[in-house]
Amino acid sequence: MKFEQTPRREAPKGGREGFDADTENKRVAFLEDAAKKYLEEDVVTVEWVENILEKVDFKEVRNIFAEHARHAGVPDEKLNFVWPDRFFVLSDEHASSTFLYDPFANAVVISGSLFRSQLESKQDDENIAQYFLFGLFHELAHITAENRLQITDEKQGEHSKMLNYADVGIICRSGFNKINVSDRAASFVMFEEAITQAVATEVGREYLRRRPLDVFDNRISSTKYDEFCKSGVERKMPRVLAGQMRHFRAAQGFFERLSEHVAKECGVPKDIANRAFIAAHYSGSDLTPELRELIDGIVGQGFIERLAGAQTKSDFEHIARTYKFAPISDSMSKKVLRFFGFALESNEKNR
């Protein structure tokens, strides 16, 4: 089958919308204050982080993310991004993971305590720096995704703003992931993490191809970083987070398997299947009834609901056992190709 990609029918949204500027400013002020307090107790770690951030060309990083978003139809001016002044090194009291994107402040929170433990463990600085870059590119991939705050109950939503969004009436979404802020009920959390990391790895690899990073008398190249992302992360991350990484890797593997299946059955290159999901991550294309029907048609009825709730390695293993990724019909293949934005030039299916 010959195919030619054409623009998507719907106009993608992209960017960051729905967040209250006044609340964002207050949240940033709180983070700035907490960062100043942490600096007083741990100058060494904060300076180590600042040293890495100063070496990264954030303008070039943004350019590469913009290239990816452009493939999804998101114009440069809508791309959300943050600069080094929105990275805050905090104590464990305010940072539960090494890196965390705070969508309400539009900022990245870094656990100084966890990085201090890495530095004190006498591990080599080069690999700790690569782990730092792994987290940096991952959070920026979250930031550049479509991020949207939706107030579902005006009265409760307005009340929530005064309580730092800790009440009911608000849904926060990033890419595929949707979270009800009040009860933390979430969908597609780990699947979105897998897509986010796919973007982050591509961007990190390309950035280091253009700008190899010289840190601590070592050069971090694209090839070296790519290998680290595949097999080095677990060895260098804080042990307290190792359990989370097991589930994260399972989600990555499942995303790769799903993309391979779609690519094979529709006769398109795997990177095109990948980019179809990545486009939704950037443009805010929700899992509409049409897309749900297509994916269920490709994999099996009820698959989407199972995928939405998958959080752990065992969840993904159970889905893989339940759904065998069987061959799909020609008619379903054509529906998928049209949804992905291809104009078919032949009725023959290319296996």
Q: Which residues contact 75 (CB under 8 A, 6 or more apart)?
A: 14
Strand duo 213-215 + 186-187: pairing: unpaired
Query: Which helix (H) or strand (E) element contains residue 277?
Result: helix 270-283
pLDDT of 327 above 90: no
Inter-residue contact 80 to 15 (CB < 8 Å): yes
Residue whose token pair is 């677990």: 234
Q: What's the token pair of residue 233?
A: 């992360």
Mean pLDDT of the chain: 79
pLDDT of 200 above 90: yes
pLDDT of 248 above 50: yes
pLDDT of 250 above 80: yes
Q: What is the mean pLDDT of residues 318-328?
A: 84
Q: What's the token pair of residue 250?
A: 């399972």
**Predicted confidence band of residue 179 (pLDDT cuts 50, 70, 90):** low
Q: What is the mean pLDDT of residues 205-218?
A: 92
Strand partners, 213: 220
309 or 3, which is more confident: 309
348 or 96, which is more confident: 96
Model confidence over 147-175: pLDDT tens digits? 888 766 554 444 344 334 334 455 565 66
Report if pTM > 0.75. yes
